[in-house]
Structure 1
Amino acid sequence: MKKFFKYLGIILLLLIGIVLFRTFTFRSKQIATSEAKNLNLNNSCVLHLQKAIRFKTISYDDAALMDSSAFIGFQQFLVQTYPLTFAQLSLERVNKLGLILHWKGKSAKAKPIILMAHQDVVPAEEATLNKWDVAPFSGAIKNNMIYGRGAIDDKGSLIAILESVELLLKQGFIPETDIYLVFGHDEEASGLKGAKQMAQLFKDRKISPAFVLDEGGIITEYKVPGLTKTASVVGIAEKGYQTLNLKINIPGSHSSMPEKETAIDEMAKAVVKLKENPFPVEFGTTVQNFLDYVGPEMPFVTKMAMANRWLFNPIIANTYSKTAAGNATIRTSMATTLFNAGVKENIIPGEAQATVNFRTQPGTTQKEVIAYVKKVIADDRIQITPKGEGNEPKQVANVDDDSFQYLQKTISTIKKGMIVAPYLALGASDGRYFGELTSQVFRFIPFPDPEGFHGVNERIKIEDFKKGIGFYYELIKNYEAK
């Protein structure tokens, strides 16, 4: 027995030694930079974003509902507001409403860069209009914040890009390499007629960019579990997108004589089962990269766990599972978004339907999602039908590439001491269509903890919007072509 405890003690000492060694050698991956000086911007840029928001460039799943006149009016506004940009950059329209602006650089041989944003916005729900502090398409300013659909998603980025380009043109700046500005018009409806078609044009023309930057990641003060520093998360990959329609038919009846099983009851049970049985945790390559970048910046105990994930993965998984963003980072997420049944209060309906949306971890296929849902529900009466093909993105950017390091360095200038980390973007973006052109597709907007996008009171602080302009200005001005 003494020998057993002796050997056990030796093993524990070795384990502690390994854990401490890995913790103390878990080095920071941050780039030391000084904070960039704020651009001397007047409030004309604020006025421009306000006006941009007032154009109701709304995307719908049903393309017939789209008001093309709103997009045409918005584009005319852009031409008038940014005269040097539209005079000196060549303009190409794709499917009438998509825009590609080409800014020729000094080198015709160097790989170009592509900056993306989208013109369209989601609708403001009729049922929530009374909850907005201002009208959702007013662009009104309240408490030093610009309110309205698109303030964050994604006219804030689009206007910030154009403001920076216009300013650089006024200064006589010529970029080192070609720059393309790609502004889709149907990102909120999957980008099939906008970004997808534009990416195909680049592919047909054999244009291989050094990197692509689209929306996705953000600056955050509190969304990274365990981190007490400001962080910027840059999407180097994005989750897949799948939607399943569920349907069950059980003969209905009068509400005064309910059967033991009804269509609504059984569909509700299925939805609850899915909620209570989430997909298993996955620490894939992208998530591992994220932990490698944020881990060294954590307080000691958390840093120790991050440095020794082989030992502490269950604890890390438990911590991340406690928040919506953290949970979505480490597993395929699922959310019931539609539930339909019934036509009258005293009739038990014979059919119930539910729509469940899945944001899948890289590598998870539609077949695997369907198989998992069938297993969890365990009710053959429920028909499971995919809604479209969904998408299964394969692109993952290389964090060791010069392009990521340049982006990291530029982001670091926004605020002194800010942490920059690669991560798995939780939502789909237009940028995914450019994954066949280059693996270096990044997703990031230079705005802190966005409020209200796709919800009520979408808004951005004036100060943050101006800093965003400064980010794109520095990104373009300091880029050295390879």
Structure 2
Amino acid sequence: MKKFSSILLIAFLLLAVIVLINTFTFKSKQITVEPAEFVNVPQSCIGNLQKAIQFKTISYDQANLIDSAAFLDFHTFLAQAYPLTFSKLKLEKVNDLSLILHWQGKNKALQPIILMAHQDVVPVEKATRKNWHADPFSGALKDNFIYGRGTIDDKGSLIAILESVELLLKDNFIPENDIYFVFGHDEEVTGKRGAKVIAKLFKQRGIKPALVLDEGGIITNYKVPGLSKPAAVVGIAEKGYVSIDLKAKIAGGHSSMPEKQTAIDELAKAIVKLKENQFPLELGPVTNLFMDYVGPEMPFVSKMAMANRWLFSAIIKSNYEKTAAGSATLRTTTATTIFNAGLKENLIPGEASATINFRTLPGVDTLAVINHIKKVINNPEIEISLRQGSSATAQIAKVNDKTFDYLQKTISAFQEDIVVTPYLVLGATDSRFFGDLTTQVFRFTPFTDPEGFHGVNERIKVTEFKSGIIFYYNFIKNYQ
């Protein structure tokens, strides 16, 4: 017994030594750079964003509801607000409403870069309008915030980019490499007529960018658990978007004589099974990179867990699973978004249908989702069909590449004592269509803890908006 206890003690001490060595050798990946160049941003930028918000460039799933005139009027406004940009850069329209601006550089031998934003916004629910502090399409300025749909998603970025370009042109700046600005018009409804077509067009023209920069990650002061410093989370990958339609068909009848099985009951059982038997939590490649970058900046106990994931993975997963965002970071998520059945209260319908939306981790394809559904619901009578627009993604940008180094340097110069880290974007962006052109697709918006995203009181602080202009100014000016 003593011998066994001695062995256990030695094993424990050896384990402790290994854990401590890993913790103390878990070195920071952050860099120190000179502060970014100060840029005197004109006050007119505020009015330009306010006006941009007033154009109701709303995307709807039903194409016939889209007001194309609002987009065309928005284009006219942009050309008037940024005369140098629209006179010196080559403008091309795709499907009438999406925009490409091409800035020719000095050196044709260099790879171009692509900066992206989208013009369209999501609708505002009528029931929530009374909860807004200002009309959602007014662009009102209140308490140093600009209010309105699109301030964050994504006209704030679009206008910040154009402000930076106009400032650079006023300084007679010419980039070394070609720069393409891509402003899609239907990102909120899958981007199939905007960014997807543009990406295909670029591929046909042989355009191979060194990097693509689109919306996605943000700067946050509090959204990374255990980190006391501000963090800039740069999306190096995004989750796939897979929607599945389920349909149950069982003869209905009068509600006074219900059969043991009904279409609604069977479909409801299937949905509950899917919710209770979700994809497993995983510490995938992007999550591991995220922990490699933020772990060394954390307090000792958290740093120890991050440095020894082989030992503490169960604890890490348990902590992440406590929040919706944390859980979504580590698994392919399952969400029932549409349920249709029934016409009359005393009539049992003979058909019920539902749509389940899965946001897939890199490496989980559509076939894996379908096989998961079949296994979990275990009901061959329920029809399973893949919705158009679904696409799983496996692409991950390389962090050991000069493009990520440049992005990290630009962000680090932009804000002092900031932790720059790669991460997985939970939503879908237009940039996913550009994966055939380059591996180096990044998603990052230079705003701190934006508020009201897709919800009530979407707004941006004036100082944050101006900082975004400075970020894009330096990003464009110093890239080579």
Report if TM-score (shorter chain) is over 0.5.
Answer: yes
Aligned equivalents of 1:371 and 1:450: distance in 2?
Answer: 38
Shift of 1:256: 4.2
Shift of 1:41: 2.4
Aligned equivalents of 2:377 and 2:136: distance in 1?
Answer: 40
Verify the 8 A CA contact 1:218 1:233 in the aligned structure 2: yes
2:324 corresponds to which residue?
324
Q: Which moved more, 1:223-232 or 1:311-320?
A: 223-232
Shift of 1:257: 4.3
Verify the 8 A CA contact 2:242 2:391 in the aligned structure 1: yes
1:145 corresponds to which residue?
145
Q: Which moved more, 1:105-114 or 1:125-134?
A: 125-134
Answer yes or no: is 1:248 the counterpart of 2:248.
Answer: yes
Verify the 8 A CA contact 1:224 1:326 in the aligned structure 2: no
Aligned equivalents of 2:134 and 2:348: distance in 1?
Answer: 41
Aligned equivalents of 1:167 and 1:54: distance in 2?
Answer: 23
Shift of 1:166: 0.3
Counterpart mapping for 1:274-423 below 5 A = 274-388=274-388, 390-423=390-423
2:15 corresponds to which residue?
15
Aligned equivalents of 1:268 and 1:144: distance in 2?
Answer: 48
Letter in 1 for 2:104: K
Aligned equivalents of 1:34 and 1:252: distance in 2?
Answer: 72
Q: Deviations along 1:193-224, whole A, 9 cap, x unmatched?
A: 21112112221222211111011111112222
Shift of 1:98: 1.5
Aligned equivalents of 2:464 and 2:353: distance in 1?
Answer: 43
Q: Deviations along 1:237-286, whole A, 9 cap, x unmatched?
A: 11111001111123334444444443333322322222222211122211
Aligned equivalents of 1:253 and 1:133: distance in 2?
Answer: 49
2:447 corresponds to which residue?
447
Shift of 1:72: 0.5
Answer yes or no: is 1:76 the counterpart of 2:71.
Answer: no
Verify the 8 A CA contact 1:210 1:438 in the aligned structure 2: yes
SS of structure 1 residue aligned to 2:414: coil
Q: Which moved more, 1:130-139 or 1:406-415?
A: 130-139
Distance 1:124 1:222, change over 3 A: same
Letter in 2 for 1:290: F
SS of structure 2 residue aligned to 1:354: strand
SS of structure 1 residue aligned to 2:48: helix
Letter in 2 for 1:145: F
Aligned equivalents of 1:117 and 1:148: distance in 2?
Answer: 17
1:41 corresponds to which residue?
41
Counterpart mapping for 1:34-113 below 5 A = 34-36=34-36, 39-113=39-113
Q: Deviations along 1:134-160, whole A, 9 cap, x unmatched?
A: 222111122321111111111110000
Aligned equivalents of 2:126 and 2:380: distance in 1?
Answer: 37
Q: How many residues align?
A: 480
1:210 corresponds to which residue?
210
Answer yes or no: is 1:31 the counterpart of 2:47.
Answer: no
1:473 corresponds to which residue?
473
Shift of 1:113: 1.1
Shift of 1:37: 5.7
Shift of 1:389: 5.4
Shift of 1:309: 0.6
Verify the 8 A CA contact 2:364 2:393 in the aligned structure 1: no
Verify the 8 A CA contact 1:110 1:177 in the aligned structure 2: yes
Shift of 1:412: 1.6
Verify the 8 A CA contact 1:191 1:430 in the aligned structure 2: yes
Over the aligned positions, Cα root-mean-square deviation in angstroms equals: 1.6
Counterpart mapping for 1:114-129 below 5 A = 114-129=114-129
Shift of 1:180: 1.1
Shift of 1:377: 1.8
1:190 corresponds to which residue?
190
Aligned equivalents of 1:239 and 1:251: distance in 2?
Answer: 39
Letter in 2 for 1:5: S
Verify the 8 A CA contact 2:365 2:393 in the aligned structure 1: no
Shift of 1:35: 4.1
Aligned equivalents of 1:166 and 1:425: distance in 2?
Answer: 30
Q: Deviations along 1:135-191, whole A, 9 cap, x unmatched?
A: 221111223211111111111100000000001111121212111111111111211
SS of structure 2 residue aligned to 1:413: helix
Verify the 8 A CA contact 2:253 2:347 in the aligned structure 1: yes
Aligned equivalents of 2:201 and 2:254: distance in 1?
Answer: 58
Q: Which moved more, 1:379-388 or 1:108-117?
A: 379-388
Shift of 1:436: 1.1
Shift of 1:461: 1.2
SS of structure 2 residue aligned to 1:435: helix
Verify the 8 A CA contact 1:36 1:413 in the aligned structure 2: yes
Q: Deviations along 1:46-77, whole A, 9 cap, x unmatched?
A: 11111111111112222222211111100000
SS of structure 1 residue aligned to 2:339: strand
Q: Which moved more, 1:360-369 or 1:73-82?
A: 360-369
Aligned equivalents of 2:253 and 2:391: distance in 1?
Answer: 40
Unaligned runs of 5+ in 1: none
Verify the 8 A CA contact 1:398 1:404 in the aligned structure 2: yes
Q: Which moved more, 1:280-289 or 1:262-271?
A: 262-271
SS of structure 2 residue aligned to 1:237: strand
Aligned equivalents of 1:274 and 1:449: distance in 2?
Answer: 33
Letter in 1 for 2:141: I
Unaligned runs of 5+ in 2: none
Aligned equivalents of 2:303 and 2:413: distance in 1?
Answer: 25
Letter in 1 for 2:447: F
Q: Which moved more, 1:66-75 or 1:55-64?
A: 55-64
Q: Deviations along 1:353-400, whole A, 9 cap, x unmatched?
A: 211101101111111101111222223332211112511223211101
SS of structure 2 residue aligned to 1:135: coil
Verify the 8 A CA contact 2:114 2:182 in the aligned structure 1: yes
**TM-score, normalised with respect to structure 2:** 0.96
Aligned equivalents of 1:36 and 1:59: distance in 2?
Answer: 36
Taking only the aligned residue pairs, the percentage that are identical comes to 65
Q: Deviations along 1:298-339, whole A, 9 cap, x unmatched?
A: 111011010011111111111111111111111101111111
Aligned equivalents of 2:464 and 2:348: distance in 1?
Answer: 52
Verify the 8 A CA contact 1:225 1:326 in the aligned structure 2: no
Aligned equivalents of 1:371 and 1:141: distance in 2?
Answer: 51
Shift of 1:469: 0.7
**TM-score, normalised with respect to structure 1:** 0.96
